[in-house]
Structure 1
Amino acid sequence: MIEYGRSIKWYNNYRDEVEFSEYNKFDFMQIWFVKGELAIDKVLSPKEQYVLNSKFPVIIHALYDIDDYDKYNDELIRILKYLNHKEVIIHPVCESIPINSETIYTLAENIYKTNQLLKGSNIKLYIENNSVIDRINYTPEDLKIVFDRNPDVELILDIAHIDDYSHLQKILEVKFPKCLHIADKRFSVEHEHLPIGQGELDFKLIFQNYLKGYDGKIIFEVVDTDEEIIKSKNIIERIVK
Protein backbone atom coordinates (compact mmCIF):
# COMPACT_ATOMS: atom_id res chain seq x y z
CA MET A 1 0.00 0.00 0.00
CA ILE A 2 1.38 3.39 -1.02
CA GLU A 3 1.84 5.88 1.83
CA TYR A 4 2.46 9.53 1.01
CA GLY A 5 4.69 11.73 3.13
CA ARG A 6 6.28 15.13 2.79
CA SER A 7 9.41 16.82 4.08
CA ILE A 8 8.36 19.61 6.43
CA LYS A 9 9.25 23.25 6.02
CA TRP A 10 11.40 23.29 9.16
CA TYR A 11 11.26 27.09 9.35
CA ASN A 12 7.43 27.14 9.62
CA ASN A 13 5.23 26.79 12.66
CA TYR A 14 5.05 23.05 13.28
CA ARG A 15 1.31 23.06 14.01
CA ASP A 16 0.72 24.71 10.62
CA GLU A 17 2.74 21.95 8.97
CA VAL A 18 0.62 19.31 10.68
CA GLU A 19 -2.64 21.01 9.68
CA PHE A 20 -1.50 21.34 6.07
CA SER A 21 -0.52 17.65 5.95
CA GLU A 22 -3.78 16.51 7.53
CA TYR A 23 -5.95 18.66 5.25
CA ASN A 24 -4.15 17.47 2.10
CA LYS A 25 -4.27 13.82 3.13
CA PHE A 26 -0.59 13.11 3.66
CA ASP A 27 -0.01 10.01 5.75
CA PHE A 28 3.10 11.27 7.53
CA MET A 29 5.80 13.96 7.55
CA GLN A 30 9.60 13.76 7.33
CA ILE A 31 11.68 15.60 9.96
CA TRP A 32 15.44 16.06 9.64
CA PHE A 33 17.85 15.13 12.43
CA VAL A 34 21.10 17.12 12.09
CA LYS A 35 24.08 17.29 14.47
CA GLY A 36 22.23 15.61 17.29
CA GLU A 37 18.85 17.36 17.21
CA LEU A 38 15.59 17.56 15.31
CA ALA A 39 15.64 20.33 12.71
CA ILE A 40 12.43 22.14 13.65
CA ASP A 41 12.34 25.90 14.18
CA LYS A 42 9.88 27.66 16.51
CA VAL A 43 9.60 24.64 18.83
CA LEU A 44 11.06 24.64 22.33
CA SER A 45 13.07 21.69 23.60
CA PRO A 46 12.47 18.87 24.07
CA LYS A 47 11.31 18.98 20.46
CA GLU A 48 10.50 15.28 20.36
CA GLN A 49 7.90 15.80 23.10
CA TYR A 50 6.16 18.45 21.00
CA VAL A 51 6.22 16.15 17.96
CA LEU A 52 4.74 13.28 19.97
CA ASN A 53 2.03 15.48 21.46
CA SER A 54 1.06 16.71 17.99
CA LYS A 55 -0.15 13.16 17.22
CA PHE A 56 0.69 13.19 13.53
CA PRO A 57 2.92 10.40 12.15
CA VAL A 58 6.50 11.33 11.24
CA ILE A 59 9.67 9.64 10.06
CA ILE A 60 13.14 10.86 11.04
CA HIS A 61 15.65 11.66 8.28
CA ALA A 62 19.13 11.75 9.85
CA LEU A 63 21.81 13.61 7.90
CA TYR A 64 25.05 11.88 8.95
CA ASP A 65 28.57 12.89 8.03
CA ILE A 66 31.11 10.07 7.95
CA ASP A 67 32.16 10.69 11.57
CA ASP A 68 28.68 11.40 12.99
CA TYR A 69 27.65 7.82 13.68
CA ASP A 70 29.43 7.32 16.98
CA LYS A 71 28.68 10.92 17.98
CA TYR A 72 24.92 10.92 17.53
CA ASN A 73 23.64 7.33 17.45
CA ASP A 74 22.73 7.30 21.13
CA GLU A 75 20.69 10.49 20.85
CA LEU A 76 19.04 9.39 17.61
CA ILE A 77 18.00 6.07 19.12
CA ARG A 78 16.75 7.78 22.28
CA ILE A 79 14.48 10.03 20.20
CA LEU A 80 13.29 7.14 18.03
CA LYS A 81 12.36 5.10 21.08
CA TYR A 82 10.64 8.08 22.71
CA LEU A 83 8.54 8.51 19.56
CA ASN A 84 7.88 4.75 19.36
CA HIS A 85 9.35 4.66 15.85
CA LYS A 86 10.18 1.44 14.04
CA GLU A 87 11.85 3.04 11.00
CA VAL A 88 14.54 5.65 10.37
CA ILE A 89 16.28 7.14 7.31
CA ILE A 90 20.00 7.91 7.26
CA HIS A 91 21.31 10.17 4.50
CA PRO A 92 25.08 9.53 4.47
CA VAL A 93 27.46 12.28 3.37
CA CYS A 94 31.19 12.83 3.68
CA GLU A 95 32.27 16.42 4.19
CA SER A 96 34.72 16.19 7.09
CA ILE A 97 37.42 14.10 5.39
CA PRO A 98 38.66 13.62 1.80
CA ILE A 99 36.98 10.75 -0.04
CA ASN A 100 39.25 8.00 -1.33
CA SER A 101 38.84 4.37 -2.38
CA GLU A 102 38.53 3.20 1.23
CA THR A 103 35.92 5.71 2.40
CA ILE A 104 32.94 3.70 1.15
CA TYR A 105 34.11 0.72 3.21
CA THR A 106 34.28 2.95 6.29
CA LEU A 107 30.74 4.06 5.54
CA ALA A 108 29.55 0.48 5.09
CA GLU A 109 31.05 -0.44 8.46
CA ASN A 110 29.52 2.60 10.18
CA ILE A 111 26.15 1.61 8.79
CA TYR A 112 26.67 -1.97 9.94
CA LYS A 113 27.39 -0.94 13.53
CA THR A 114 24.50 1.51 13.55
CA ASN A 115 22.13 -1.09 12.14
CA GLN A 116 23.07 -3.54 14.89
CA LEU A 117 22.08 -0.94 17.48
CA LEU A 118 18.83 -0.16 15.68
CA LYS A 119 17.93 -3.82 15.31
CA GLY A 120 18.32 -4.17 19.06
CA SER A 121 15.39 -1.74 19.36
CA ASN A 122 13.48 -3.34 16.45
CA ILE A 123 14.00 -0.29 14.20
CA LYS A 124 14.32 -0.70 10.42
CA LEU A 125 17.07 1.35 8.72
CA TYR A 126 16.80 2.96 5.27
CA ILE A 127 19.96 4.30 3.57
CA GLU A 128 19.72 6.99 0.89
CA ASN A 129 21.63 7.19 -2.39
CA ASN A 130 23.46 10.45 -3.06
CA SER A 131 23.77 12.73 -6.07
CA VAL A 132 26.99 13.49 -7.90
CA ILE A 133 27.78 16.45 -5.63
CA ASP A 134 28.32 14.18 -2.61
CA ARG A 135 30.43 11.48 -4.27
CA ILE A 136 29.77 8.82 -1.62
CA ASN A 137 27.01 6.24 -1.83
CA TYR A 138 26.35 7.74 -5.25
CA THR A 139 27.54 5.17 -7.77
CA PRO A 140 25.92 1.74 -8.10
CA GLU A 141 29.32 0.30 -7.16
CA ASP A 142 29.27 2.23 -3.87
CA LEU A 143 25.73 1.09 -3.16
CA LYS A 144 26.68 -2.53 -3.78
CA ILE A 145 29.49 -2.31 -1.23
CA VAL A 146 27.13 -0.84 1.36
CA PHE A 147 24.30 -3.31 0.80
CA ASP A 148 26.56 -6.35 0.47
CA ARG A 149 27.77 -5.50 3.99
CA ASN A 150 24.24 -4.68 5.12
CA PRO A 151 21.78 -6.94 3.29
CA ASP A 152 18.97 -6.36 5.80
CA VAL A 153 19.16 -2.55 5.44
CA GLU A 154 16.68 -1.06 2.96
CA LEU A 155 17.27 1.49 0.19
CA ILE A 156 15.46 4.81 0.14
CA LEU A 157 15.84 5.90 -3.46
CA ASP A 158 16.07 9.63 -4.09
CA ILE A 159 15.00 9.84 -7.72
CA ALA A 160 16.23 13.43 -8.03
CA HIS A 161 19.76 12.15 -7.35
CA ILE A 162 20.04 10.13 -10.56
CA ASP A 163 22.22 11.26 -13.47
CA ASP A 164 20.07 9.55 -16.11
CA TYR A 165 17.85 6.49 -16.52
CA SER A 166 20.83 4.19 -16.98
CA HIS A 167 22.08 5.32 -13.56
CA LEU A 168 18.62 4.56 -12.14
CA GLN A 169 18.52 1.08 -13.70
CA LYS A 170 21.95 0.18 -12.30
CA ILE A 171 20.90 1.28 -8.81
CA LEU A 172 17.77 -0.88 -9.02
CA GLU A 173 19.93 -3.86 -10.02
CA VAL A 174 21.73 -3.47 -6.68
CA LYS A 175 18.58 -3.14 -4.55
CA PHE A 176 14.92 -2.34 -5.15
CA PRO A 177 13.74 0.45 -2.84
CA LYS A 178 11.11 0.21 -0.11
CA CYS A 179 10.91 3.99 0.18
CA LEU A 180 11.23 6.89 -2.30
CA HIS A 181 12.21 10.53 -2.16
CA ILE A 182 10.34 12.32 -4.92
CA ALA A 183 11.24 15.64 -6.54
CA ASP A 184 11.90 16.77 -10.10
CA LYS A 185 15.22 17.83 -11.64
CA ARG A 186 16.90 18.92 -14.86
CA PHE A 187 19.58 16.55 -16.09
CA SER A 188 21.93 19.44 -16.84
CA VAL A 189 21.97 20.43 -13.14
CA GLU A 190 24.04 18.35 -10.72
CA HIS A 191 21.64 18.67 -7.81
CA GLU A 192 18.19 20.18 -7.42
CA HIS A 193 14.77 19.30 -6.03
CA LEU A 194 12.01 20.93 -8.05
CA PRO A 195 8.23 20.57 -7.83
CA ILE A 196 6.95 17.73 -9.98
CA GLY A 197 6.49 18.83 -13.59
CA GLN A 198 9.07 21.61 -13.45
CA GLY A 199 12.02 19.43 -14.40
CA GLU A 200 12.85 16.76 -16.96
CA LEU A 201 12.08 13.54 -15.06
CA ASP A 202 9.43 11.41 -16.76
CA PHE A 203 7.64 9.97 -13.76
CA LYS A 204 5.19 8.00 -15.87
CA LEU A 205 8.16 6.26 -17.48
CA ILE A 206 9.85 5.79 -14.11
CA PHE A 207 6.85 4.14 -12.44
CA GLN A 208 5.80 2.09 -15.46
CA ASN A 209 9.23 0.89 -16.63
CA TYR A 210 11.61 1.08 -13.66
CA LEU A 211 9.50 1.02 -10.50
CA LYS A 212 6.67 -1.10 -11.83
CA GLY A 213 4.67 -2.55 -8.97
CA TYR A 214 6.21 -0.24 -6.39
CA ASP A 215 4.27 -0.46 -3.13
CA GLY A 216 5.94 1.49 -0.35
CA LYS A 217 6.45 4.97 1.04
CA ILE A 218 6.69 8.04 -1.20
CA ILE A 219 8.12 11.17 0.44
CA PHE A 220 7.89 14.46 -1.42
CA GLU A 221 11.03 16.54 -0.94
CA VAL A 222 9.31 19.61 -2.33
CA VAL A 223 9.41 22.60 0.03
CA ASP A 224 8.14 25.25 -2.37
CA THR A 225 4.70 26.85 -2.27
CA ASP A 226 1.71 25.00 -0.82
CA GLU A 227 0.15 24.94 -4.28
CA GLU A 228 3.25 23.31 -5.80
CA ILE A 229 3.35 20.69 -3.06
CA ILE A 230 -0.31 19.80 -3.59
CA LYS A 231 0.11 19.72 -7.38
CA SER A 232 3.19 17.48 -7.05
CA LYS A 233 1.26 15.00 -4.91
CA ASN A 234 -1.72 15.00 -7.30
CA ILE A 235 0.51 14.29 -10.32
CA ILE A 236 2.24 11.33 -8.69
CA GLU A 237 -1.01 9.91 -7.29
CA ARG A 238 -2.54 9.91 -10.77
CA ILE A 239 0.51 8.17 -12.26
CA VAL A 240 0.72 5.55 -9.51
CA LYS A 241 -2.99 4.77 -9.64
Structure 2
Amino acid sequence: MIEYGRSIRWFNDYRDEIEFSSLNKFTFMQIWFMKGDLILDKVPYPKEEYVLNSNFPVIIHAVYDIDDYDKYNDELLRILKVLNHKEVIIHPVCESAPVNSKTIYTFADNIYKTNQLLKANNIKLYIENNSVIDKVNYKASDLKIVFDKNPEVELLLDIAHIDDYDHLQSILEVKFPKCIHIADKRFSEEHEHLPLGQGELDFELIFKKYLKGYEGKIIFEVVDEDEKIIKSKSIIEKIFEDK
Protein backbone atom coordinates (compact mmCIF):
# COMPACT_ATOMS: atom_id res chain seq x y z
CA MET A 1 0.00 0.00 0.00
CA ILE A 2 1.25 3.47 -0.88
CA GLU A 3 1.57 5.95 2.00
CA TYR A 4 1.99 9.63 1.13
CA GLY A 5 4.07 11.86 3.39
CA ARG A 6 5.83 15.19 3.02
CA SER A 7 8.89 16.95 4.33
CA ILE A 8 7.79 19.60 6.78
CA ARG A 9 8.36 23.29 6.10
CA TRP A 10 10.34 23.75 9.31
CA PHE A 11 10.05 27.55 9.11
CA ASN A 12 6.23 27.46 9.34
CA ASP A 13 3.94 27.12 12.33
CA TYR A 14 3.79 23.40 13.17
CA ARG A 15 0.00 23.38 13.63
CA ASP A 16 -0.44 24.97 10.20
CA GLU A 17 1.71 22.24 8.68
CA ILE A 18 -0.46 19.57 10.31
CA GLU A 19 -3.63 21.24 9.04
CA PHE A 20 -2.26 21.41 5.49
CA SER A 21 -1.13 17.78 5.59
CA SER A 22 -4.45 16.56 6.95
CA LEU A 23 -6.55 18.53 4.45
CA ASN A 24 -4.52 17.18 1.55
CA LYS A 25 -4.50 13.57 2.74
CA PHE A 26 -0.87 13.17 3.68
CA THR A 27 -0.72 10.53 6.38
CA PHE A 28 2.61 11.57 7.92
CA MET A 29 5.28 14.28 7.86
CA GLN A 30 9.08 14.11 7.76
CA ILE A 31 11.07 16.07 10.36
CA TRP A 32 14.82 16.65 10.15
CA PHE A 33 17.23 15.84 12.98
CA MET A 34 20.68 17.48 12.86
CA LYS A 35 23.44 17.85 15.45
CA GLY A 36 21.26 16.49 18.21
CA ASP A 37 18.18 18.63 17.59
CA LEU A 38 14.87 18.46 15.73
CA ILE A 39 14.81 21.17 13.04
CA LEU A 40 11.57 23.00 13.84
CA ASP A 41 11.79 26.78 14.06
CA LYS A 42 8.52 27.54 15.85
CA VAL A 43 8.21 24.68 18.32
CA PRO A 44 9.01 25.04 22.05
CA TYR A 45 11.38 22.73 23.90
CA PRO A 46 11.20 19.88 24.50
CA LYS A 47 10.31 19.68 20.81
CA GLU A 48 9.68 15.94 20.80
CA GLU A 49 7.01 16.34 23.48
CA TYR A 50 5.29 19.03 21.43
CA VAL A 51 5.38 16.81 18.33
CA LEU A 52 4.03 13.85 20.30
CA ASN A 53 1.18 15.87 21.78
CA SER A 54 0.25 17.23 18.36
CA ASN A 55 -1.06 13.74 17.46
CA PHE A 56 0.00 13.67 13.81
CA PRO A 57 2.35 10.90 12.59
CA VAL A 58 5.92 11.85 11.69
CA ILE A 59 9.14 10.14 10.65
CA ILE A 60 12.60 11.41 11.62
CA HIS A 61 15.12 12.17 8.87
CA ALA A 62 18.53 12.29 10.59
CA VAL A 63 21.29 14.03 8.65
CA TYR A 64 24.52 12.46 9.95
CA ASP A 65 28.05 13.56 9.17
CA ILE A 66 30.74 10.88 9.23
CA ASP A 67 31.60 11.58 12.89
CA ASP A 68 28.05 12.18 14.16
CA TYR A 69 27.08 8.59 14.92
CA ASP A 70 28.78 8.23 18.28
CA LYS A 71 27.92 11.83 19.18
CA TYR A 72 24.19 11.77 18.54
CA ASN A 73 22.94 8.18 18.49
CA ASP A 74 21.89 8.23 22.13
CA GLU A 75 19.92 11.46 21.70
CA LEU A 76 18.33 10.23 18.48
CA LEU A 77 17.27 7.01 20.21
CA ARG A 78 15.87 8.95 23.17
CA ILE A 79 13.70 11.07 20.85
CA LEU A 80 12.55 8.01 18.91
CA LYS A 81 11.47 6.37 22.16
CA VAL A 82 9.56 9.47 23.28
CA LEU A 83 7.75 9.47 19.95
CA ASN A 84 7.17 5.68 20.07
CA HIS A 85 8.75 5.36 16.62
CA LYS A 86 9.65 2.08 14.97
CA GLU A 87 11.36 3.59 11.90
CA VAL A 88 14.03 6.20 11.22
CA ILE A 89 15.88 7.57 8.17
CA ILE A 90 19.58 8.37 8.15
CA HIS A 91 20.90 10.64 5.41
CA PRO A 92 24.70 10.24 5.41
CA VAL A 93 27.01 13.11 4.52
CA CYS A 94 30.74 13.64 4.86
CA GLU A 95 31.55 17.30 5.41
CA SER A 96 33.95 17.15 8.36
CA ALA A 97 36.59 14.96 6.68
CA PRO A 98 37.94 14.38 3.17
CA VAL A 99 36.32 11.54 1.22
CA ASN A 100 38.72 8.79 0.22
CA SER A 101 38.59 5.08 -0.63
CA LYS A 102 38.15 4.16 3.07
CA THR A 103 35.26 6.52 3.81
CA ILE A 104 32.48 4.24 2.61
CA TYR A 105 33.81 1.41 4.79
CA THR A 106 33.84 3.71 7.82
CA PHE A 107 30.29 4.69 6.99
CA ALA A 108 29.22 1.04 6.60
CA ASP A 109 30.72 0.27 10.03
CA ASN A 110 28.94 3.29 11.57
CA ILE A 111 25.66 2.09 10.12
CA TYR A 112 26.28 -1.40 11.47
CA LYS A 113 26.81 -0.13 15.03
CA THR A 114 23.83 2.21 14.76
CA ASN A 115 21.58 -0.50 13.41
CA GLN A 116 22.50 -2.84 16.24
CA LEU A 117 21.38 -0.15 18.69
CA LEU A 118 18.17 0.52 16.80
CA LYS A 119 17.39 -3.16 16.23
CA ALA A 120 17.70 -3.82 19.95
CA ASN A 121 14.88 -1.29 20.34
CA ASN A 122 12.78 -2.71 17.47
CA ILE A 123 13.42 0.30 15.20
CA LYS A 124 13.86 -0.17 11.44
CA LEU A 125 16.61 1.86 9.75
CA TYR A 126 16.45 3.34 6.25
CA ILE A 127 19.62 4.68 4.58
CA GLU A 128 19.38 7.31 1.84
CA ASN A 129 21.42 7.39 -1.36
CA ASN A 130 23.26 10.63 -2.05
CA SER A 131 23.69 12.84 -5.07
CA VAL A 132 27.05 13.43 -6.73
CA ILE A 133 27.75 16.51 -4.58
CA ASP A 134 28.06 14.36 -1.44
CA LYS A 135 30.58 11.86 -2.88
CA VAL A 136 29.73 9.10 -0.40
CA ASN A 137 26.89 6.57 -0.66
CA TYR A 138 26.27 7.94 -4.14
CA LYS A 139 27.48 5.26 -6.54
CA ALA A 140 25.89 1.84 -6.70
CA SER A 141 29.25 0.37 -5.71
CA ASP A 142 29.12 2.39 -2.48
CA LEU A 143 25.61 1.22 -1.75
CA LYS A 144 26.66 -2.38 -2.29
CA ILE A 145 29.39 -2.04 0.34
CA VAL A 146 26.89 -0.58 2.80
CA PHE A 147 24.15 -3.14 2.25
CA ASP A 148 26.52 -6.12 2.10
CA LYS A 149 27.59 -5.09 5.59
CA ASN A 150 24.02 -4.26 6.62
CA PRO A 151 21.55 -6.54 4.81
CA GLU A 152 18.78 -5.86 7.34
CA VAL A 153 18.87 -2.11 6.69
CA GLU A 154 16.45 -0.75 4.08
CA LEU A 155 17.13 1.66 1.22
CA LEU A 156 15.46 5.03 1.08
CA LEU A 157 15.73 5.98 -2.59
CA ASP A 158 15.97 9.70 -3.29
CA ILE A 159 14.95 9.89 -6.93
CA ALA A 160 16.19 13.47 -7.28
CA HIS A 161 19.72 12.25 -6.45
CA ILE A 162 20.14 10.20 -9.62
CA ASP A 163 22.40 11.30 -12.49
CA ASP A 164 20.35 9.48 -15.12
CA TYR A 165 18.23 6.35 -15.52
CA ASP A 166 21.28 4.09 -15.81
CA HIS A 167 22.35 5.37 -12.39
CA LEU A 168 18.86 4.59 -11.06
CA GLN A 169 18.94 1.07 -12.51
CA SER A 170 22.35 0.36 -10.97
CA ILE A 171 21.06 1.38 -7.53
CA LEU A 172 17.99 -0.84 -7.86
CA GLU A 173 20.21 -3.79 -8.75
CA VAL A 174 21.78 -3.42 -5.30
CA LYS A 175 18.54 -3.05 -3.31
CA PHE A 176 14.91 -2.26 -4.02
CA PRO A 177 13.62 0.57 -1.82
CA LYS A 178 10.94 0.41 0.84
CA CYS A 179 10.74 4.21 1.08
CA ILE A 180 11.17 6.96 -1.52
CA HIS A 181 11.95 10.67 -1.52
CA ILE A 182 10.34 12.45 -4.45
CA ALA A 183 11.21 15.79 -6.03
CA ASP A 184 12.02 16.82 -9.59
CA LYS A 185 15.39 17.81 -11.07
CA ARG A 186 17.13 18.79 -14.27
CA PHE A 187 19.81 16.37 -15.41
CA SER A 188 22.19 19.24 -16.13
CA GLU A 189 22.22 20.14 -12.42
CA GLU A 190 24.15 18.10 -9.85
CA HIS A 191 21.57 18.62 -7.11
CA GLU A 192 18.04 19.98 -7.17
CA HIS A 193 14.74 19.35 -5.42
CA LEU A 194 12.08 21.00 -7.56
CA PRO A 195 8.29 20.71 -7.51
CA LEU A 196 7.17 17.93 -9.85
CA GLY A 197 6.73 19.11 -13.40
CA GLN A 198 9.48 21.73 -13.16
CA GLY A 199 12.33 19.34 -13.94
CA GLU A 200 13.10 16.56 -16.38
CA LEU A 201 12.31 13.40 -14.42
CA ASP A 202 9.73 11.17 -16.13
CA PHE A 203 7.85 9.83 -13.12
CA GLU A 204 5.52 7.70 -15.21
CA LEU A 205 8.56 5.95 -16.70
CA ILE A 206 10.18 5.64 -13.28
CA PHE A 207 7.18 3.97 -11.64
CA LYS A 208 6.03 1.87 -14.58
CA LYS A 209 9.47 0.58 -15.58
CA TYR A 210 12.13 1.00 -12.90
CA LEU A 211 9.98 0.93 -9.77
CA LYS A 212 7.24 -1.31 -11.13
CA GLY A 213 5.32 -2.92 -8.30
CA TYR A 214 6.53 -0.44 -5.69
CA GLU A 215 4.53 -0.32 -2.49
CA GLY A 216 5.68 1.68 0.46
CA LYS A 217 6.22 5.20 1.69
CA ILE A 218 6.49 8.14 -0.71
CA ILE A 219 7.79 11.33 0.89
CA PHE A 220 7.55 14.55 -1.11
CA GLU A 221 10.61 16.71 -0.53
CA VAL A 222 8.95 19.72 -2.08
CA VAL A 223 9.32 22.59 0.37
CA ASP A 224 7.41 25.23 -1.60
CA GLU A 225 4.04 26.94 -1.78
CA ASP A 226 0.91 24.91 -0.99
CA GLU A 227 -0.24 24.63 -4.60
CA LYS A 228 3.11 23.23 -5.77
CA ILE A 229 3.04 20.54 -3.12
CA ILE A 230 -0.57 19.64 -3.97
CA LYS A 231 0.22 19.48 -7.69
CA SER A 232 3.28 17.29 -7.06
CA LYS A 233 1.19 14.82 -5.08
CA SER A 234 -1.54 14.74 -7.73
CA ILE A 235 1.00 13.82 -10.44
CA ILE A 236 2.11 10.73 -8.52
CA GLU A 237 -1.41 9.77 -7.44
CA LYS A 238 -2.55 9.78 -11.07
CA ILE A 239 0.29 7.44 -12.06
CA PHE A 240 -0.81 4.92 -9.44
CA GLU A 241 -4.49 5.34 -10.28
CA ASP A 242 -3.74 4.57 -13.95
CA LYS A 243 -1.68 1.44 -13.23
Q: TM-score range by the shorter chain?
A: over 0.9
1:161 CA displacement: 0.1
> Are residue 9 (structure 1) and residue 9 (structure 2) matched?
yes
Helix, strand or coil for the counterpart of 1:15?
helix
> Are residue 218 (structure 1) and residue 218 (structure 2) matched?
yes
1:1-241 superposed matches below 5 A: 1-241=1-241
1:16 CA displacement: 0.3
Q: Matches of 1:233 and 1:103 in 2, distance apart?
A: 36
Q: Matches of 2:150 and 2:20 in 1, distance apart?
A: 37
Q: How many residues align?
A: 241
1:63 CA displacement: 0.2
Return the TM-score normalized by structure 1: 1.00
What are structure 2's unaligned runs of at least 5 residues? none
What are structure 1's unaligned runs of at least 5 residues? none
Helix, strand or coil for the counterpart of 1:88?
strand
1:240 CA displacement: 1.7
Q: Matches of 1:231 and 1:154 in 2, distance apart?
A: 28
Kindly provide the CA deviation profile for residues 37-91 of structure 1, in whole angstroms up to 9, marking residues without a partner as x.
1000111100000000000000000000000000000000000011000000000
Q: Matches of 2:42 and 2:34 in 1, distance apart?
A: 16
Q: Matches of 2:31 and 2:168 in 1, distance apart?
A: 26
Counterpart AA for 2:111: I
Superposition RMSD on alpha carbons, in Å?
Answer: 0.3
Helix, strand or coil for the counterpart of 1:96?
coil
Q: Matches of 2:99 and 2:197 in 1, distance apart?
A: 34
Counterpart AA for 1:205: L
Q: Matches of 2:100 and 2:193 in 1, distance apart?
A: 27
